[in-house]
Structure 1
Amino acid sequence: MTAVRVAALQMRSGQSVARNVADFEALVREAAGRGATYVQSPEMTGALMRDRAALRAVLKPEGEDPVERAAGRLAAELGIVVHVGSTAIARPDGKVANRAFLFGPDGGLLATYDKIHMFDVDLDNGESWRESATYEPGTAATVADLPFGRLGMAVCYDVRFPQLFRAQALAGAQILTAPAAFTRQTGSAHWHVLQRARAIENGAFVVSAAQGGLHEDGRETYGHSLIVDPWGRVVAEADHDEPGVVVADIDLAEVAEARGKIPNLKNARDFAVAHAGAAMAAGG
C-alpha cells in the first residue's frame, strides 16, 4: 500500500488541559470520519501557557498524561495512527520534556520524540522566548515504521535545522513532520518556505499541524497547517488560523519518484571547509 489519507489538526490550545483534550478528541474524530488513517495534532496539544509555575502544576509523567491517554484510546477505537505533535511531560528527574507521541492502530505506543532544538530567540517588537528555561532538549532523532511507510518526528523550531530531516530521510523516512506553535511573526515570514524546503531537500512528504490564533496566555500563533508533497507543492492547507482539520490523500510512490529524478540523497559528498582568508594571510 502506497496511498494513504493523512490529516493535520489545527488547534488553539488554551490553559485548560481538559478542554484541550476535548477539542483534540473532537478533531481526531472529525479527521477519522473524513477517512484519515494518520492524524497529527500540533505542538503543545495539551496546554499553552507562559506561566511556568502554572504549567508545572498541571504536568503529568508519561503514562498518566491525559492527551497521551486520549490519543492511545482514540487510535485503538478508530483503528488509525494518532500522532500527538507534542505535549509537556514531567520527566522523572524533575525536568520537563516537550514530547511527541505516536500510537498505532491497535492503540499501542510506537514511538516518542523529545524536541531537540529550543526556541531561544529575541524577535522584533520585544517578543522574546526562552524554551530552554523550561524544557530539557532531546538528544535523539526518531523515525518510526507505520503500516503505510516510515515517518520522521520533529517539533516546530526543529524545522530550521535541515540536518535533522536529512538524517531521517537517509534513515528511510518518506514522511517528515514538524507540528508547531509557530509565532505569528515568524510564521508569516518563514513557515511556508521552511516546510517546502524540507520537502524538496529530502524528496519527502511533510505534514505539519499547527496552533493558530490568539491564545489565553496572550501569545499569537500563525496557523496554516500544511501538507506538502516531495516536489515541494502544497497539497493541502488551512489558509487561516482557526481550528479545523486539513486532509489530503498522499501516495508514497511519489517519494521514490522525486528521489529518482533528483537523487541528492545519493549524490551528497563529504567535504572540508577551507578558510581561504587565513591561508592567504599566512602566505602574504
Structure 2
Amino acid sequence: MKIAALQMVSGPRVPDNLATARALLERAAAGGAELAVLPEYFSAMGLRERDKLGHAEQLGDGPVQAFLARAAQELGLWIVGGTLPLACSDPERVRNSSLAFSPQGECVARYDKVHLFRLAHGDEQIDESRTIEPGGAPVQLHLTDRSGRDWCVGLSICYDLRFPEFYRFHAQAGADLLVVPAAFTWTTGSAHWEVLLRARAIENQAFVLAAAQGGRHENGRRTWGQSLVADPWGKVLEALPDGAGMVLADADPARLDEVRRQLPALSHRVF
C-alpha cells in the first residue's frame, strides 16, 4: 500500500491552508497513494494561541470536516486529517483532534490528543493545556487496502511521540502502521524528531508515517519539518526536509512480516 505524508507551512487563513492541502492530496492520489496524512494544525496556525478557539467546529459539522470528507470521496483516499480544533464542554479550550475519513467520505475514526506539550526554552514558552482539553485514550483506525489486506493503524499526534508506552498500547492492539501528524518546534525537532520516530518503528515493528509542519510561519514560529516514512526495521524510506510537499513510500506487508518473523521481539515481551 502506498502511503503519503503531506508537509505544510500553515498560516492563519483557513481557505489558503485548505487550498494547499487539496493540492497536496491531489498529488498523493496521482502518485498512487491509498492513505494520506496531513500535519497537525493543517487548517490553521493562528497568530495567537487562542485563535484556535475561533476555528473550533462541532463534530460532524464545519468547513474543515466538509473539506476532508469531500477530498476523501473525490480522490478515493483514506485521509487522516492531521488535526483540527473540535469544540468541547469548556468554552475556553478545544480538543486537538485527528479525524480519519474513508474513500466514501465517511468519518470513521476520531482521536483527541492525549499528551499536551509544554516547553520552557529561552523565549519559547508553550503550554498547550491553556487552550486544549486532553483526550483520554488511544484509537486505532482499521482499513482495507485495494489488494484486500487489512491494516490496523495507530493514531497519534505530535507530543505523543515521546511516550513509548502509548505506542506499545497500539502494538498490543495489532497496529502495523503508526501515523504521527505533528508540528514539532525547531528546537525539539532538530534534537529528537527522527530518532524518536525510528525508535517507535523499531520498538513496535511497524511502519511509521509522520506528516509535519515544516518552515517559518506567519506567527513567527519555526517548525522542524522532516516528514518521513520509516519501515519496521527503523530505516527511513523517504523524507522531506522542509517546505510544503509530499513524502510517498510503499508500506510493503511482506517487509512487515519479514521483520516480525526474523526478530519476533513483540512475542518476547516479559512486562
TM range (shorter): over 0.9
* Bigger radius of gyration among the two: 1
Residue aligned with 1:219, SS? coil
Q: 1:222, 1:241 within 8 Å by CA — same for their partners in 2?
A: yes
Q: 1:45, 1:67 within 8 Å by CA — same for their partners in 2?
A: no
Structure 1 residue 228 and structure 2 residue 230: aligned?
yes
Q: How far apart are the structure 2 equivalents of 1:50 and 1:158? A: 24
Q: Percent identity?
A: 43
| AA matched with 1:99 | S
Residue aligned with 1:85, SS? coil
State the match for 1:171 in structure 2. Answer: 173
Gaps of 5+ in 2: 146-150
Matches within 5 A, 1:205-284: 205-238=207-240, 240-270=241-271
1:79 Cα deviation from its structure 2 partner: 1.3
State the match for 1:72 in structure 2. Answer: 69
Alignment deviations for residues 1-26 of structure 1 (CA, whole Å, 9 cap, x no partner): xxx11111000111001111111111
Residue aligned with 1:68, SS? helix
Q: How far apart are the structure 2 equivalents of 1:152 and 1:231? A: 17
TM-score (norm 2): 0.94
Structure 1 residue 118 and structure 2 residue 116: aligned?
yes
Residue aligned with 1:212, SS? coil
Alignment deviations for residues 64-113 of structure 1 (CA, whole Å, 9 cap, x no partner): 23222111111111111011121112224433010001011111111010
State the match for 1:277 in structure 2. Answer: none
Spell out structure 1 runs of 4+ moving beyond 3 A.
Answer: none
1:192 Cα deviation from its structure 2 partner: 0.7
State the match for 2:43 in structure 1. Answer: 46
Q: How far apart are the structure 1 equivalents of 2:58 and 2:42? A: 15
Pick which of 108-117 and 251-260 moved more.
Answer: 251-260
Q: How far apart are the structure 1 equivalents of 2:238 and 2:76? A: 23
Q: How far apart are the structure 1 equivalents of 2:161 and 2:209? A: 12
Alignment deviations for residues 151-187 of structure 1 (CA, whole Å, 9 cap, x no partner): 0000001000011111101111100011100001111
Matches within 5 A, 1:196-211: 196-211=198-213
Q: How far apart are the structure 2 equivalents of 1:265 and 1:135? A: 34
Q: 2:12, 2:47 within 8 Å by CA — same for their partners in 1?
A: no
TM-score (norm 1): 0.90
State the match for 2:164 in structure 1. Answer: 162
State the match for 2:96 in structure 1. Answer: 98
Gaps of 5+ in 1: 271-284
Q: How far apart are the structure 2 equivalents of 1:54 and 1:141? A: 27
Between the two proteins, the alignment pairs up a number of residues equal to 265
